[in-house]
Chain A
């Protein structure tokens, strides 16, 4: 069975601080895909990144970076120099090759950035 765990239910930091959102996944498939989504207060889920299981390179996009480590089954997301606009619920998700139409979402981490 597949599972995604986001142990941090809520995080609150002051603007300009760095913050890391943790994601731990479980699967026995060797081919799988990992995702991060952002859900701002408006409600629409916004796709941020997709990684496949064969690509462990870290990714950086502006203030966002992702650390994928198969050894610890983790796919953590870091926001550098956080801004108020980063306030949202962030979801980590997993899709496995054997049932790749379905995405399993974590329970989400609510991030609040205080000015």
Chain B
């Protein structure tokens, strides 16, 4: 079974803090993704990566950056957290483009 793990289920941070969300997949997948999910707005793609050190902006990259130094790990960085970044963050991976994505359990981030 594919396993995607995320570093925290719940996280509370203060405005202005730098926040790191970590995601690890154990199936040697090429692609990895970060989404945020908000009520009424569905899933929105923040960034994705199709190879180590490669990244592409999704639909809402503003205020976020990412890092993929190793194939199995994809990090989402909030350089200076703001209250409007309070959300559920979901990481996913897929073997190749066009294949299904497998999701982690999510991190519910609250910025106060």
Contacts and interface: CB of A to CB of B under 8 A. Distances in A.
Interface in B88-111: 88, 90, 92, 94, 97-106, 108
Nearest to A96: B98
B98 A100 contact: yes
Contacts of A97: 98
Interface residues of A, number: 22
Interface in B18-59: 31, 42-43, 45, 48, 50, 56, 58
A54 to B, nearest CB: 12
B100 A35 contact: yes
- Ranked 7 nearest A-B pairs via Cβ: A100-B97, A100-B98, A45-B103, A101-B97, A105-B43, A44-B105, A50-B100
Given A43-B105, A102-B48, 14 more contacts: A33-B99, A35-B100, A42-B105, A43-B106, A44-B105, A45-B92, A47-B100, A47-B101, A47-B103, A97-B98, A101-B50, A101-B97, A105-B43, A107-B42
Contacts, number: 45
Interface of B: 31, 42-43, 45, 48, 50, 56, 58, 88, 90, 92, 94, 97-106, 108
